[in-house]
Amino acid sequence: MAQAKWSAVSSVLTPPVRRSLALTAVWLVIVNIFALLAFNRLNLAPDTAFAWLALIPIEHVPQSWDLIGLHNRWDSYWYLDIARNGYYLRGEQDIANVVFFPLYPLLMRLMAPLAGGDLVLAGWIVSCLFLLLAVVMLTRLCQEFHPDIDPCLPVALLLVHPTAFFLNAVYSESLFLFLSLATVFWARRGSYVTASFWAALASATRIAGVFLFVVLLVEFIRANGWRGLLTRRVWPLALAPLGAVAFFLYHWAAFGDFFLYLHVQDSFGRDFTVDVADFFYRNNTELANNLLDFAYAGLAVLFGILALWRVRLSYGLYMLVSLSIALSTGSCLAISRYSMVLFPIYIIGAGIRSPVGRGAWLLSSTLLMALDTIRFINHYWTS
C-alpha cells in the first residue's frame, strides 16, 4: 500500500514539477522581500489615478514592516468583508460585495482557524497554496500535451507576468488559475465529469469560469464528433456553469434579483453598454495607466489569435471569448490581471525559439512586474 502511494506521488512530482515548485518557492521569497523593502524605502504621494473607483479619497499609506498586511489591497477588502460578514447590499446605487464570487472567501474562512483567526493571513495562505497547485498543473499539462517545450518555462513566464504579485495577494487569481488548468488538463484527457467538476468550482470563483465551457465543448466535439452532442456522454458538460448559476440563484433568494451581479457591476465601472463619453471617463484618467492597459489588451487579443492558430482551437476560443466579454464592458480596466490567468499565453511564450525574443519577454515583463508590485503595495491603481 505504501509503495503504491509513493508511486502515485512520484508520478505527479516528476523532476520538472519539482523544479517548477522550487522556482515558485524561491519566487515567493524574493518577490515578498522586494515588496517589503520597496514599501519601506519609497515614500510615494497618494495615487490620483482612478479616484472615482474608491468609496473615499485614497490616503497616504504609512510605511510598515507588516509583511502580511502588504497582501491586503484594493479588492482584498471585499473578499475579507465577505469572509467576515457574508453578502449584503449597501443600497441600490452603491458598490457592494455581491459581485465577488463565494469560493475564495469561503476557503479563507475555512483557513482562518489555522491562521489564528487572521483572515488576511488566511487569504495569503490560500493564495500561495493554490499558486503551488497551479504551477504543478501547468507543468503537468505541458509535459503531457505540449512535449515540444520545456515544461518549466511557462511557469517562469507566469511568475514574471506584470501582475504576478496578485498570485500571492488576497485575491482569487491563483485559485482560479488552478481550477482553469485542472479543467483543461482533464478535458484533454477525456475525463469530462472530472473536468466539469473543476469548471463548476471555477465558475464559483469568477464569472470567467463560465467560459471554460468553451474548452469542454470544443474538446468534447473533437473527441466524439458533432453526433456526440446527441448522446448521453455529453451530460457532464452541463455541470460546468453550475457554480455561477448557484451564486445567481442565491442572489435571487436573498435579494430578489437573479441578475443582481450584472446590475451592481455598473457601479464598479463595468456594464455592457459602450458610451464614448463614459469610455473616456473610465479609461482616460491617467495616461500611463491607459497606455499600459491598451497595450495589454492588444497583446492579449493577439495571443488569443496565436493560440487559435498555432496551439489549440479550444485554447484560442476560450481566450477570445473571455477577452471579448471583458472588453465589451467598454473598459480596459484590470485587463492585465484578467489576462494573467489565460494560461495559453505562457505556452505560446515558451515556444519562442529566438533567445533575443525570449530574453526581451523576460526582461520587459520582469521590469513591469516590479513596477506593478510597487504600485500595488502602495495602494496605487494596478491594472
Report how far residue 6's alpha carbon sits from residue 255's, in angstroms, rounded to the nearest whole number: 50
Q: What is the rounded average pLDDT of the residues 333-359?
A: 92
End-to-end CA distance of the chain: 49
The grid coordinates of residue 326 equal: 471583458
Among candidates 95, 85, 41, 48, which has minimal Cα distance to 64?
A: 41
For residue 6, pLDDT over 60 is answered with no
Among candidates 271, 351, 336, which has minimal Cα distance to 297?
A: 336
Amino acid identity of residue 173, one-letter, is E
Q: What is the pLDDT of residues 48-59, one digit of tens each?
A: 665 555 555 566
Residue at 332 is within a domain: yes
Q: What is the rounded average pLDDT of the residues 364-381?
A: 92
- Give the pLDDT score at 56: 53
For residues 35 and 380, which has the higher predicted lDDT (pLDDT)? Answer: 35
Q: What is the rounded average pLDDT of the residues 128-145?
A: 98
337 with 207: CB under 8 angstroms? Answer: no
Q: What is the pLDDT of residues 173-203, one digit of tens each?
A: 999 999 999 999 999 999 999 999 999 999 9
- Give the pLDDT score at 5: 55
DSSP string of 272-307, one letter each residue: S---HHHHHHHH-S-HHHHHHHHHHHHHHHHHHHHI
The grid coordinates of residue 149 equal: 517545450
Residue at 323 is within a domain: yes
The grid coordinates of residue 182 equal: 485542472
Residue at 125 is within a domain: no
Residue 66 C-alpha from the chain's centroid? 25
Lowest mean pLDDT among 135-144, 274-283, 354-363: 274-283
Under the banding of pLDDT at 50, 70 and 90, the label for residue 112 is very high
How many other CB atoms are found less than 10 A from the CB of residue 372? 22
Residues 31, 100, 51, 159, Cα dihedral to 10°: 20
Amino acid identity of residue 346, one-letter, is Y
Report how far residue 34's alpha carbon sits from residue 127's, in angstroms, rounded to the nearest whole number: 18
- Give the pLDDT score at 284: 47
Residue at 195 is within a domain: no
Phi/psi zone of residue 171: left (φ > 0), alpha (ψ -120 to 50 degrees), beta?
A: beta
CB within 8 Å of 382: residues ≥ 6 apart: 74, 163, 337, 372, 375, 376
Domain that holds residue 296: 283-351
How many other CB atoms are found less than 10 A from the CB of residue 358? 17
For residues 77 and 268, which has the higher predicted lDDT (pLDDT)? Answer: 77
The grid coordinates of residue 85 equal: 460578514
Residue at 290 is within a domain: yes
119 with 84: CB under 8 angstroms? Answer: yes
Under the banding of pLDDT at 50, 70 and 90, the label for residue 382 is confident
Residue at 5 is within a domain: no
285 with 50: CB under 8 angstroms? Answer: yes
Q: What is the rounded average pLDDT of the residues 332-353?
A: 91
User: Is the pTM higher than 0.85?
Assistant: yes
Residue at 175 is within a domain: no
CB within 8 Å of 222: residues ≥ 6 apart: 313, 314
Q: What is the rounded average pLDDT of the residues 229-246?
A: 94
Q: What is the pLDDT of residues 278-315, one digit of tens each?
A: 555 455 456 677 788 888 889 999 999 999 989 999 99
Which H or E element spans position 365? helix 355-377
Report percent pLDDT > 90 for the chain: 70
CA-derived radius of gyration, the chain: 21
Mean pLDDT, the chain, integer: 88
Q: What is the pLDDT of residues 210-237, one digit of tens each?
A: 999 999 999 999 999 999 999 999 999 9
* Sign of the alpha-carbon torsion through 369, 375, 378, 380: negative
Under the banding of pLDDT at 50, 70 and 90, the label for residue 74 is confident
Residue 88 C-alpha from the chain's centroid? 24
Report how far residue 26's alpha carbon sits from residue 129's, in angstroms, rounded to the nearest whole number: 14
Phi/psi zone of residue 60: left (φ > 0), alpha (ψ -120 to 50 degrees), beta?
A: beta
How many other CB atoms are found less than 10 A from the CB of residue 368? 20
- Give the pLDDT score at 332: 77
Residue at 378 is within a domain: no
The grid coordinates of residue 188 equal: 484533454
Amino acid identity of residue 240, one-letter, is A
Instruction: Give the chain's domain count.
Output: 1
For residue 270, pLDDT over 60 is answered with no
- Give the pLDDT score at 105: 98
Half-sphere exposure of 183 (CA within 13 A, CB side): 37
- How many residues in total does the chain contain? 383
Between helix 212-224 and helix 313-327 the angle, nearest 10°, is 150
For residues 269 and 12, which has the higher predicted lDDT (pLDDT)? Answer: 12
Report percent pLDDT > 70 for the chain: 86
